[in-house]
Chain A
């Protein structure tokens, strides 16, 4: 039996046997263990007296009550904070417009919208339309025109002479 100190498997088995045994085991060591176990079981818990039970109930209830107002306060504080935030962050309602202002606003909106539409359409079309490059053919009379131009310029610099009397 002393070997049991070195063998956890045997000890576990013996412990199981001890608890399953309905009477005194034949092994003297195990019998002594069983007797001690029986003796210890007589020192088991007794039901709570009414006084102790009431004391436990009272203390847990008091704690619960103490906690409930705290939760209430926390809830109320969060509600107030949310309300304040909502009031502060709310955008002011705009004043009603006069008829002229409404008309102007409508025109402005139309103008803005059409400009934007034109810009978008232009951008979209530009991607797909190939604009023609228009180049003029060189004129065959270029030189004559240029010399004529120079002559005109020279004539304009000359002082105007009065017409001769015949």
Chain B
């Protein structure tokens, strides 16, 4: 289990954190996925462990996001605002963020608003640089679908960012 955590823990936490936006929830989801892997009756081939864990983590994250939307649509906005505020140091107002930090935040926010499976595809293919075969296995898509949907999702994300930049300039 130590080896699995060392090899895949970072990727799993990154996926959960990017989807959920909250570290505590992301850690819970990753822990659950690791425990589920441990409870599996049939052991997985080492090459299939990461896609399986990614599927498990993503599904749990999407469940949580759906639950959030159902039960506390308004609260989500509040929590997001609070977490954004909490991330800002008290003595460092938003204006003092570097361009890089601002750009990074904008990218992550735009990514978080993307529909599925484009969002997960961009996280796995572009952010994590996972190969096509493992991505296809994790998202239960064909390799061709992975390529086409990733291409479309990136274009959509680019369009979204460009629109936001235009709004900021205006």
Q: Is the CB of A59 within 8 A of B151?
A: no
> CA–CA, A16 to B147, complex, Å?
7
| B78 CB–A CB distance under 8 Å | no
Q: Is the CB of B5 within 8 A of A48?
A: yes
Q: Enumerate B104-159 residues with CB–CB distance to A below 8 Å.
A: 104, 107-108, 111, 122, 126-129, 144, 147-148, 150-152, 154-155, 157-158
Instruction: Give the size category of A's interface with B.
Output: 20 to 34
- Residues 1-36 of B, flagged 1 when their CB comes within 8 A of A and 0 if not, give 110011001110111000000000001001100110
**Secondary structure class of chain B's binding surface, majority of residues:** helix
Smallest CB separation, B108 vs chain A (Å): 7
> CA–CA, A18 to B125, complex, Å?
12
* Residue from the list B30, B39, B147 in contact with A15, Cβ < 8 A: B147
Smallest CB separation, A35 vs chain B (Å): 9
A residues less than 8 Å from B97 (CB atoms): none
Instruction: Give the size category of B's interface with A.
Output: 35 or more
Q: Is the CB of B144 within 8 A of A44?
A: no
> CA–CA, A75 to B50, complex, Å?
33
**Which chain A residue shows the least CB distance to B143?**
A12
Q: Enumerate A27-49 residues with CB–CB distance to B below 8 Å.
A: 32-33, 36-37, 39-41, 43-48
**Which chain B residue shows the least CB distance to A35?**
B158
- 8 further interface pairs, Cβ-Cβ under 8 Å (given A57-B1, A61-B1, A67-B39): A8-B148, A11-B147, A12-B148, A12-B151, A36-B157, A41-B127, A48-B9, A53-B9
**Interface residues, chain B, with chain A CB atoms under 8 Å away:** 1-2, 5-6, 9-11, 13-15, 27, 30-31, 34-35, 38-39, 103-104, 107-108, 111, 122, 126-129, 144, 147-148, 150-152, 154-155, 157-158, 161
Q: Jot down 17 A-B pairs with beta carbons below 8 A, ordered by A.
A: A11-B147, A11-B151, A33-B154, A33-B155, A40-B107, A40-B111, A40-B126, A43-B104, A44-B127, A44-B128, A45-B14, A45-B127, A53-B9, A56-B5, A56-B31, A57-B5, A60-B34
